[in-house]
Structure 1
Amino acid sequence: MMIHPNFDPVAVHLGPLAIRWYALSYIVGFALFIWLGRRRIKQGNTLFTNELLDDLLTWGVVGVILGGRIGYVLFYKFAEYAANPLSAFKIWEGGMSFHGGFLGAVLAAFLFSKKHRLGFVKTLDFIAPLVATGLASGRIGNFINGELWGRITDPSHFWAMGFPQASHADQYLVQINPQYAQWFTQYGMLPRHPSQLYQFALEGLCLFAIVWIFSKKPRPTGQVASLFLAGYGLFRFVAEFARQPDEHLGLLTLGMSMGQWLSLPMLVLGVMSFVYCGKRNRVI
């Protein structure tokens, strides 16, 4: 069984200023967004310019951060934050939701499109191939932090990894499962799936490759965005089988996690939208 390196979550210390790896993962994601966006503009077949792209990033940053935080409050810890609303503003304590960030980004794209009098769906089609690399960067940030670890697996599996950061959760599990107690005695921690790396590969690299290649040719309006929506929903749904559910939520109806319930509508809506846009036969 491998052991997580337990990295220092702070990447750089500059006197009293501490720059964390997770913050750097956001910066890398936004930088890749600009770099890939400029490549798309050079390829032609778009109304976007470098100036529009820069403005879009500004709107997107605000949408992702606000949406991610609000989504986390509403989807994952609503009761806790409802009891203490001011704690919702303590973003330095962590807590972001992709699904909330996604909705925030979509709203930002809508407002951006209205401002510049661009087609909203065409804006989404332009954005969709640029997003997955940012998701990949974020999952690497999760792995470095040793957070959002996976479910228990057999220590003989080559992918099994112990997370020192999960010690509290491990100690709870060993009290209810004799097999876990044996593993904990042997290794000092429980073997888990490194689910952050699974999500890096699926929601990040694979999704990027699929959507980027698909978008290289003119497609019916809306199909590129629909493919991203369905692809993310599918990959996140699958990856959640290896990811440890949030401790305060556990598994919900039908034994599915909150992440799966939030991803399922994305998958269904993405597939339906892809088919519908194809039938309309409008080319970007």
Structure 2
Amino acid sequence: MDSIIQFDDLGLSPDIVTIAGYTLRWYSLAYMSGLFIGWWMLRQMLKRSNAPMTDEDVDDFIIWAFLGIIVGGRLGYVFFYSPAEFIAEPLKILAFWNGGMSFHGGMAGVIIAILVFARKRALSWLRIGDYIACVYPLGHMFGRLANFVNGELWGRPTDGSWGIIFAAAGPEPRHPSQLYQAGFEGLFLLIVMTWLFWRTDARNKPGLLTGVFVVIMGASRFILEFFREPDRNLGILSTGLTMGQTLTIPLLLAALWMIYNSRAGFSQER
């Protein structure tokens, strides 16, 4: 047991620095960094021909995306994972600082933001979605790394030598599932989407990039849920799946439909 990593021995803290009574946390920095770098990446992507929006559109949309992630992520957590708790105390919905965000809710929030923004600007929501899909994995990776630093959303027990003991989860070594997700749903997906955008003509096939993004993200989430500790309020559902896996299934079906309708064949650009 001495060789097993103790999370507390890593010296990690959710807080970065406190100035004048305000504490900057890694989770907040993850959101801010993801949005800022994502904005910069989008501006670079718009330099390619046939871009679906202008630099000014991107500048304005970042605010919409931020609200979509925060509001959607919070409401998704409330509705899918802990409705009874928030029905009993509705004001808890506003307590973002206490944690509780849903990936599926955040994604739904971004999709709604894209739809409304595109309608107001008379733009193609599907092509805007393709561009956003190429930068979203970056913010997701930062978020999962912040989850690890916070010592939250740990995995299920494991007897592997890479297991980590999170004191709040008990004495058993657990999968560092936050790092698995940061690697597969974040870094790997970011590499794939970047290659597709810059090295192929996939960006000119509306819906293709969005479909690929959701398929890889959804498949990774479905598989990695087997290593992640189920939400304490729900556990394993009667179907044998977690809520995260259940919510992923319709996303995968919709993404496959999008890829099919985009006529997914694409050519290598030289």
TM-score after normalising by structure 1: 0.87
Do the aligned residues in 2 keep the contact of 1:232 with 1:266 (CA within 8 Å)?
A: no
Query: Contact 1:230–1:269 (CA<8 Å) still a contact in 2?
Result: no
2:63 to 45, 58, 66: 58
CA distance in 2, matches of 1:6, 1:268: 42
- Written as runs of structure 1 = structure 2, the 5 A alignment for 1:130-145 is 130-145=135-150
Note closer, same or farther for the CA distance 1:164–1:279 as it changes in structure 2 (3 Å cut).
closer
Moved more, 6-15 or 193-202: 6-15
8 Å contact 1:135–1:204 — kept in the other structure?
yes
Q: Is 2:194 the partner of 1:218? A: no
Which of 175, 182, 185 does residue 193 from structure 1 map onto? 175
The residue that corresponds to 1:93 in the other structure is 98
Match of 1:203 in 2: 185
Report the Cα offset of residue 279 of structure 1: 7.0
- Alpha carbons 2:52, 2:128 under 8 Å: kept: no
Q: CA deviation at 1:6?
A: 5.2
Partner of 2:85: 80
Q: 1:190 Cα shift? A: 1.1
- Specify the code of the residue in structure 2 equivalent to 1:218: D
Alignment deviations for residues 216-271 of structure 1 (CA, whole Å, 9 cap, x no partner)? 22232111111111111101111111100011211013321111111122122211
C-alpha contact (below 8 Å) 2:15/2:24 kept by paired residues: yes
- In structure 1, the gaps of 5 or more residues are 171-188
Q: What TM-score do you get using the length of structure 2 for normalisation?
A: 0.91
- Where does residue 76 of structure 2 map in the other structure? 71
Question: Map of 1:8-87 to 2, 5 A cutoff?
Answer: 8-87=13-92
Structure number with larger C-alpha Rg: 1
Q: Residue 63 of structure 1 contacts residue 108 of structure 1 at CA under 8 Å; is this kept in 2?
A: yes
The alignment status of 1:160 with 2:142, answered yes or no, reads no
The aligned amino acid for 2:257 is: M
CA shift for structure 1 position 149? 0.2
> Residue 3 of structure 1 aligns to which amino acid in structure 2?
Q
Tell me the matched-pair count.
Answer: 258
User: 2: distance between equivalents of 1:55 and 1:77?
Assistant: 33
Aligned residue in 2 for 1:186: none
Residue identity over aligned pairs, in percent, reads: 38
Q: CA deviation at 1:280?
A: 11
What SS class does the counterpart of residue 47 from structure 2 fall into? helix
Contact kept in structure 2, 1:68 and 1:104, CA below 8 Å: yes
Distance 1:20 1:144 in 2: 10
Shift of the 136–279 alpha-carbon distance from structure 1 to 2, 3 Å rule, reads closer
Classify 1:279/1:198 alpha carbon distance in 2 versus 1 (closer, same or farther; 3 Å): closer
Q: Distance in 2 between matches of 1:264 and 1:72?
A: 18
**Residue 120 of structure 1: CA displacement?**
1.1
Name 2:257's counterpart in structure 1.
Answer: 272
Q: Flag structure 2 segments of 5+ consecutive residues without an equivalent.
A: none
Give the counterpart of 1:2 among 2, 5, 12.
5
Cα contact 1:6–1:165 (8 A) shared by 2: no
Deviations 1:77-125 (A, max 9, x none): 0011112112111111111111001000000011110121101111111
Conserved 8 A contact 1:26-1:138: yes
Map of 2:133 onto structure 1: 128
> Structure 1 residue aligned with 2:247, among 240, 262, 267?
262
Secondary structure, aligned partner of 1:192? coil
Amino acid at match of 1:55: D
Specify which of 147, 153, 160 is matched with residue 148 of structure 1. 153
